[in-house]
Amino acid sequence: MSDAPLAVRFAASGLDWIVPDWPAPPNVHAFSTTKNGEGGGTLDLGRRNADIVSVQQLLRWLPREPVWLDQVHGRAIIDADDVARSGVAPSPADGAVARTTNIVCAVLSADCLPVLLTDRDGSVVAAVHAGWRGLAAGVLEAAVAMMRVEPSSLLAWLGPAIGPNAFEVGNDVRAAHCAGDPGAAA
């Protein structure tokens, strides 16, 4: 791969992917795919039955196969280093944390929020699938705890997700988020 920044390489390739504009350290690389691959073709990673052409297109840009999660809209976070070392499929989880260079953390999202985290030194990274159920259950808090760094040292990038013009939540969602906060008005 070229030493050019990811955004420059993607622009030159014709890929319609989103590269975060955030102050991550130079050893941390991140991007979010859209449904548009090279030349406007479709890139659809789906869930477990992803189109092999889409996966091969993605893998050309990565140092190794990502640690794919069996996402369940919960709060479990896995150690991607352990999974990559063991080769054993991870247990169901909605986030992954890595400290080892070239371990690729990945989450799939449609209307849920992908959240990427790193510390200012780039010594630890996390990718979190944050749907409303996971957010209410504390998935972000679980990821930060597993990163084992001072929360004030963290940088976060919030990826594309569904917005209020396309989706409205009901009182059940509000109640779920207020349940864990005694000062919240349910």
What is the widest separation between alpha-carbon atoms in the chain?
Answer: 52
Q: In the prediction, which pLDDT does 20 show?
A: 92
User: What's the fold here for domain 6-163+170-179?
Assistant: CNF1/YfiH-like putative cysteine hydrolases (3.60.140)
d(CA 125, CA 117) in angstroms, rounded, equals 6
In the chain, where the domains are located: 6-163+170-179
SS (H, E, C) 74-100: CCCCEEHHHHHHHCCCCCCCCEEEECC
- CA nearest neighbour of 95 among 152, 147, 33: 147
* pLDDT tens-digit series, residues 28-75: 999 888 766 665 566 666 544 555 666 777 788 889 989 989 999 999
Among 48-52, 86-90, 99-103, name the one with the lowest average pLDDT.
48-52
Q: In the prediction, which pLDDT does 1 show?
A: 45
| Cut 0.85: pTM above it | yes
Percent above pLDDT 90 for the chain? 52
